[in-house]
Amino acid sequence: MDRFQFMSVFVAVGKAGGFSAAARELGMPLATVSRQVADLEAQLGVRLLRRSTRKVELTEHGKIFHAASRRILEDLREAEASVTGEFAAPRGDLAVTASMAFGRQYLQPVVLEFLAAYPQINLRLVLADRIVNLLEENIDAAVRIAELKDSNLIARPLGQVRVVTCASPAYLARRGAPRHPRELIEHDCITWSPQAPPSTWSYHEAGKDITVPIRVRFATSTSESAAAAAEAGAGLTQAPCYLISESVRTGRLKVVLKEFVGAGTPVHLVYPSQRLLPSKLRTFIEFAAPRLVERLRSNDRMVERSAA
């Protein structure tokens, strides 16, 4: 049994979502593809694929083995290339994920720079406001804005994201800028949440976290919508720096209560732990990380310069 050959066929079937599509991609007879996957299942003693008349899906065991097989084959190809000198430049497919707002504002420009610098790499950018399972969804790397839990992922620190309070110059001219978070109860506040709108905001004072009540004048489900309402003069809102950095830079929004901004949420570039990191992924990490670090540092400088 050629284990690597059978793994390659299985990975192709899982990626294509069916035997026929995988057979076309591999240039192999359909019967051969089906037999090799069946032989692999028999050798492992588990069902890897759930077959029906309409589609083929990975089982839970199949998802785990598919991700592992993909990494092993990538390592093997990378090792062969490093020995034979096959590649003068990194090449292949990459998949990277981030939250929607951060991905659009910060990661996508870096990705486009990367693609221009490395024309033999193709990249799929997955923007989603959820924790994407890298192994199950065949993602190579992710930008995570959160306190990381212990995992089998390698995490490269990029910086932090701070949440600030801001409003348009027109609103501040009309209502004045609050000098302490307790004054927010007298202001029009714009909140955002996919669930019930919050009735309090959090700040940091004298080394302690504080929570203050706010007067919610307008509630919406997304941070982008809240920032747009603040720009229109509807009130004050809280937003992550990366979301409003351009609006602050151009003067459409001003930061208030700067001295009460708390510690930021850490940002990491994470990727699966592998003994041999593929050249294309290693190149992306070394390219993207310093650029994202500088963009996040610029957020802090923006907060310092833009207080009303």
Span 104-128, pLDDT tens digits: 989 999 999 999 999 999 999 999 8
DSSP per-residue letters across 251-268: TS-EEE-GGG--PPEEEE
CATH code of the domain containing 22: 1.10.10.10
| Residue 210 sits in the same domain as residue 74 | no
Range of the domain at 13: 3-84
What beta strand segments (E) does the chain contain?
A: 49-51, 56-58, 92-98, 121-127, 141-145, 153-161, 163-167, 189-192, 200-205, 208-213, 216-220, 236-240, 254-256, 265-272
Q: Rounded mean pLDDT of the chain? A: 87
Distances (CA, A) of 39 to 34, 64, 76, 104, 276: 9, 18, 22, 44, 28
| Residue 167 sits in the same domain as residue 251 | yes
- pTM (2 decimals)? 0.70
Average pLDDT over residues 78-88: 60
The encoded tokens of residue 248 equal 């602050």
Q: Comparing 23-27, 74-78, 288-292, which segment has the lowest mean pLDDT?
A: 74-78
Confidence of residue 78 (pLDDT cuts 50, 70, 90): low
Per the domain annotation, does 102 fall within a domain? yes
| Residue 74 sits in the same domain as residue 17 | yes
Residue 275 pLDDT exceeds 80: no
- Rounded Cα–Cα distance for residues 127 and 131 (Å): 10
Which of 281, 269, 301, 272 lies closest to 107 in space, CA to CA? 269
| Residue 179 sits in the same domain as residue 253 | yes
| Residue 256 sits in the same domain as residue 172 | yes
Residue 85 pLDDT exceeds 60: no
| Percent share of the chain, pLDDT over 90 | 48
What total number of domains does the chain contain? 3
Within a 10 A sphere around the Cβ of 84, how many other Cβ atoms?
A: 8
- 172-200 pLDDT per residue, tens: 999 999 999 999 999 999 999 888 888 99
